[in-house]
Amino acid sequence: MRTLTFVIGTGRSGSTALSRILAMHPDVLSLNEYMASVGATAFPEGRLTGEEFWRALATPTPYFAQMLRSGLPMPEFLYTREPGRRYDVSTTGIPGLSLMVLPHLTDDPDGLLDALEGTVVRWPERSPAGHHRALFGHLCTRLGRTHVVERSGYSTGWAPLLREAFPEARFVHLFRDGPDCALSMSRHPGYRVICLTREILRRCEVTRLDELTDAHVRALPPALTALLGERFDPALVTHHPIPLRTFGALWSQLVIEGTEFLARLPVGQGATLAYEDLLDDPSAELTRMAEFIGVAPRREWLRSAGALLHPGRRGSANSLPASERAELVAGCAPGTSLLSMAGPGPRSS
């Protein structure tokens, strides 16, 4: 493993397409939604044995498992798209590493999971960061790649932890036009769950769900209380009224987090990438991206990558009624203002 790069951002910004594009490069190990899948449970305090680290990777991710049990899958859940997979939502649950990471790397995620388990459980005790580096390096060797790029949606909050764990890592802040991105969030089940969860935390004046007491739960409206169970009615998420301004404010918060984080990085370790720039000139933007990662911008790769980008998704918020678009623009205003002051990307910090 020669370089390690994290693409952070709001999600709903062309980031899944970017992971697919990076996976097409013969030198890049594209880790799709790795941090979203393993989360903080794979970065505990202290040291871990190989078996302990493996449990953190193989245990179903709680919030994704709850969505699957409730019949509310996300389009990013790659494992469930193919029939005949070994793991099942209602019995074993789907290992965290299997849901989105391994199907992005292979057509046989169950086989790769078995092979990884046989290796990882024998690893010696080391720091969580040491285990993650070893896993990245092992996957590079196994799959013939040399440079690692991890990309998760809704990931700006992970950036400080990743910077502390991997001080050598490079970071790309990917963002999209605020109203377009926020409108996409408003139609996505995962972001609707995020906004409803944030509403629960706000009402109860806590910062994490594990801080909720029985008294907190009893004081919540029934529709929000139901979301805390093992299963919930998907309609509670899909039909619950959430103001568009809420999604605009979420976009702003995430863009501000990403921009401020990037500004604190040493020169050469951070870069920005605007989705609209990628649509306008994919060859130039992906060339910059490749050079920042440290791989060659191969001509055949650049030629194939453009087919995965969809310019028609730009300007989607323009089709909204004027009042709804104004609501989105207002919610996005703080983030939009900060991006305008930062100037156009992509560039290195």
Question: Tokens at residue 156, please?
Answer: 């700006």
Question: Does 344 score more than 80 pLDDT?
Answer: no
CA atoms of 200 and 252, how far apart (whole Å): 20
Predicted confidence at residue 347, as pLDDT, reads 52
CA atoms of 92 and 153, how far apart (whole Å): 26
Burial of 172: CB neighbours in 10 Å, binned 0-12, 13-18, 19+: buried
Question: Does 342 score more than 90 pLDDT?
Answer: no
Q: How many C-beta atoms lie closer than 10 Å to residue 208's C-beta? A: 7
Question: Does 345 score more than 80 pLDDT?
Answer: no
Q: Which of 194, 315, 166, 314 is nearest to 253 (CA)?
A: 194
CA atoms of 285 and 69, how far apart (whole Å): 40
Q: Which of 144, 250, 275 is nearest to 198 (CA)?
A: 250
Q: Minimum mean pLDDT among 154-158, 308-312, 318-322, 329-333: which range?
A: 308-312
Predicted confidence at residue 348, as pLDDT, reads 53
Please list the alpha-helical segments (H only) found in the chain. 15-23, 34-38, 50-58, 62-69, 96-99, 109-120, 128-143, 159-165, 178-186, 189-204, 214-219, 222-226, 235-238, 244-263, 275-280, 282-293, 299-305, 322-342
Question: Does 349 score more than 80 pLDDT?
Answer: no
Q: Minimum mean pLDDT among 200-204, 226-230, 248-252, 345-349: which range?
A: 345-349
Q: Tens digits of per-residue pLDDT, 165-219?
A: 999 999 999 999 999 999 999 999 999 999 999 999 999 999 999 999 999 999 9
CA 349 to chain centre: 22
Find out whether the peptide bond into 346 is cis, omega within 30 degrees of 0: yes
DSSP state of 126: B
Name the band, by pLDDT with cuts 50, 70 and 90, for residue 343.
low
Predicted confidence at residue 307, as pLDDT, reads 87
Name the band, by pLDDT with cuts 50, 70 and 90, for residue 23.
very high
Predicted confidence at residue 71, as pLDDT, reads 96
Predicted confidence at residue 237, as pLDDT, reads 97
Instruction: Quote the mean pLDDT of the chain.
Output: 95
HEC secondary structure over 175-243: ECCHHHHHHHHHCCHHHHHHHHHHHHHHHHCCCCHHHCCHHHHHHCCHHHHHCCCCCCCCHHHHCCCCC
CA atoms of 315 and 179, how far apart (whole Å): 8
CA 31 to chain centre: 10
Name the band, by pLDDT with cuts 50, 70 and 90, for residue 41.
confident
Question: Tokens at residue 224, please?
Answer: 């929000």
Question: Tokens at residue 336, please?
Answer: 């939009």
CA atoms of 305 and 289, how far apart (whole Å): 13
Q: How many C-beta atoms lie closer than 10 Å to residue 63's C-beta? A: 15
Cβ atoms of residues 172 and 30 within 8 Å: no
